[in-house]
A and B are shown apart, each in its own frame.
Chain A
Amino acid sequence: MIASDNLKPHDQDVLQLRNVKAYYKTKFFGIDREVRAVDSITLNIQRNQIYGLAGESSSGKTTLIKTIAGNLRPPLRLLEGNILFNFRNHSHPIDIATASSEKLYSVRWKHISYIMQGSMSVLNPVRRIHQSFIDFAFHHIKQPYPKFLKIVQQHLEDLHLDPNILKAYPHELSGGMRQRVAIALATVCKPEFIIADEPTTALDVVVQKSVLKLIKNVQQEMGSSMLFITHDLAVHANLTDRLGIMYAGRLVEEGETKKLFKNPLHPYTKHLISSLPSIGDLSKKNSLEGSPPNLADPPAGCRFHPRCPLAIEQCRISNPPLVETAPKHRVACFKVNPRKE
């Protein structure tokens, strides 16, 4: 049932996830509860690529990030699978799942960094911005303070930000500016892999566009890879190279963003793309019936089948594997890939 063999590991890949299962396991008063937030995810992210991940809330996007960053605190547990990072200056790939805490400490922020959603909660509200830079990056840059400050100032100038904001407090900056500072903070160590979790969701349209441009420029200049997460498909269409669609903890479709928008195969992806409203389009948009499944008790078979207009008997019984239907395009749906008996 595991269709992971069709994705051969490659030297160009910076991140390889192989059949990753991360569940929240709790035990209260003798009642075991298991939330299958990330279930058998296999994907590769290449160097110099922006990989987009889309899906509604509670589809396991944030849990996947936590797993990738090695932030596995109970009740979140990694049951099986490998998370391999293949950095340029490292002779061996690092498996986050088994790496020691010292190793993780040396890798985080230096090689893997994180742009978070709420920039107000990233920056310490009672300390000036430059102190936040010290907290995050001083240890990793390993330079004396005057030189460290010069590096930070140069980095801000590269991002077309005024270095004077280092003296400001977070509340003195606007939402968009704070998000730009959060991006500068995440990229100051020139990491090879950046995780961006809904960095523009809280911003309005004009600011959103300029922040997205900044993210793209930074990524291209540094040649790093990025995992970009948002539920807004219009953002994915403009920014990402490859796009994976998550539903209820599973990857249901993955492909090159442009091709995926032109030719979506999975019914869920089709729905997401067709329900995007746009200016000049007056056709009636329909919403999906029902609500996303409870991951503590997901439906049997394909997790999308209770809401799927195309569901057949097979969908209720077994889980469709993620199969490569076209080069670099994988879909998990029995209607698209009828099983050969």
Chain B
Amino acid sequence: MKLGLVENLIKVEHVSRYFSLGGILTTNRFKAVDNVSFTIPVGSPQIFTIIGESGSGKTTLARMMLNLVKPSSGTIYFKGRDLTTIHSRKDKIRFMGDVQPVFQNPFSAFNPLKKVDRYLYISAYRFTTASTKSESEKCADIALNKVGLSLPEVKDRFPHELSGGQLQRIAIARALIASPSLLIADEPVSMVDASLRIAIVNLFKTLRDDLGVSIIYITHDLTTAYYISDQIIIMQKGVVVERGEARNILENPQHPYSQTLKQSVLSPTSTLND
């Protein structure tokens, strides 16, 4: 670990990712993410939102931040450390404990043939000092309490016995076991009912305010983004077209693409014809 003052929790510097199309010999390249930079400072937990339609490179960016995909150019620093220098198993586990994902579809995030509490125990063994069954259960219970559930509700249950909202909260609880400083939530509410969306986004707010977890919230839903975000970037075809303070941007978008996005948001008072 590098000593000294670490200013940024995560720093994304001129990051691009290309995917080549066709065979080995072609030079066709598809730019999924093109020269994206942003930082999240350490010490002031915030909800950082990435907005864009499908195919705008949101998920590729998230996968790069999780160190699942290497950037084609540019660097990502997490707590001052370049992600490409993480090699040893110990470093990898430490990084995974600090940056945790929450995925889009809670129904496919859990194996339907395994009990859901198993995932909580495995995370507890791996990322905490728990080494016995009772210790891991205790860890799981603490994490579940943070998301408004308790272990008896979840214990010995299969995914099909739980509702989508409960499963998504268990997925978030699983991520919290490692006590991460950054959660990367890739469209966490798009597969969940509208009535449960609010429960999940309220949970993110509590995590930020009470536990001090920074959250990268990836979505195409502008209304929940407005409701919870602090900072926002709007992406179109891999390029950041607008960035800044979330409420200012969403109330007053400047870029034509952001304006189209805002106009397309349906609300009880809007009409289809404008």
Q: Which residues of A contact B (CB under 8 A)?
A: 56-58, 175, 204-209, 212-213, 216, 231-235, 237-239, 261, 271-273, 275-282, 285-288, 291-292
Q: Which residues of B contact A (CB under 8 A)?
A: 53-54, 163-166, 193-196, 198-199, 201-202, 220-224, 226-227, 247, 250-251, 260-262, 264-273
Q: Are B267 and A206 in contact (CB under 8 A)?
A: no
The binding surface of chain B is classed by DSSP as helix
Q: Are B196 and A205 in contact (CB under 8 A)?
A: no
Q: Are A231 and B195 in contact (CB under 8 A)?
A: yes
How near does chain B come to A268, taking the closest CB pair, in angstroms? 9
Q: Are A285 and B198 in contact (CB under 8 A)?
A: yes
Q: Are B54 and A204 in contact (CB under 8 A)?
A: yes
List 6 contacting pairs A-B, 8 Å CB cutoff, sorted by A.
A205-B222, A206-B53, A209-B272, A235-B266, A237-B266, A280-B251
Q: Are A238 and B166 in contact (CB under 8 A)?
A: no
Q: Are B264 and A206 in contact (CB under 8 A)?
A: yes
Q: Are A287 and B195 in contact (CB under 8 A)?
A: yes
Q: Given the interface contacts A238-B270, A238-B272, A279-B265, does A205 sit within 8 Å of B220 by beta carbon?
A: yes
Q: Are A204 and B266 in contact (CB under 8 A)?
A: no
Q: Which residues of A contact B195 (CB under 8 A)?
A: 56, 231, 271-272, 275, 287-288
Q: Are A287 and B272 in contact (CB under 8 A)?
A: no
Q: Are B262 and A277 in contact (CB under 8 A)?
A: no
Q: Which residues of B contact A292 (CB under 8 A)?
A: 163
- State the CA gap A124–B270 with chains docked (Å): 36
Q: Are A237 and B221 in contact (CB under 8 A)?
A: no
Which of these, B194, B202, B261, contacts A205 with CB under 8 Å?
B261
Q: Are B267 and A205 in contact (CB under 8 A)?
A: no
Which of these, A58, A204, A213, A280, contacts B272 with CB under 8 Å?
A213
Q: Are A234 and B272 in contact (CB under 8 A)?
A: no
Q: Given the interface contacts A204-B220, A272-B195, does A261 sit within 8 Å of B163 by beta carbon?
A: no
How near does chain B come to A54, taking the closest CB pair, in angstroms? 9
Q: Are B227 and A212 in contact (CB under 8 A)?
A: no
Q: Which residues of B contact A278 (CB under 8 A)?
A: 223, 226, 267-268
Q: Given the interface contacts A205-B220, A291-B163, does A57 sit within 8 Å of B193 by beta carbon?
A: yes
Q: Which residues of B contact A276 (CB under 8 A)?
A: 194, 223, 267-268
Q: Which residues of B contact A237 (CB under 8 A)?
A: 266-270
Which of these, B54, B194, B220, contacts A231 with CB under 8 Å?
B194
How near does chain A come to B222, taking the closest CB pair, in angstroms? 6
Q: Are B196 and A206 in contact (CB under 8 A)?
A: no
Q: Are A285 and B227 in contact (CB under 8 A)?
A: yes
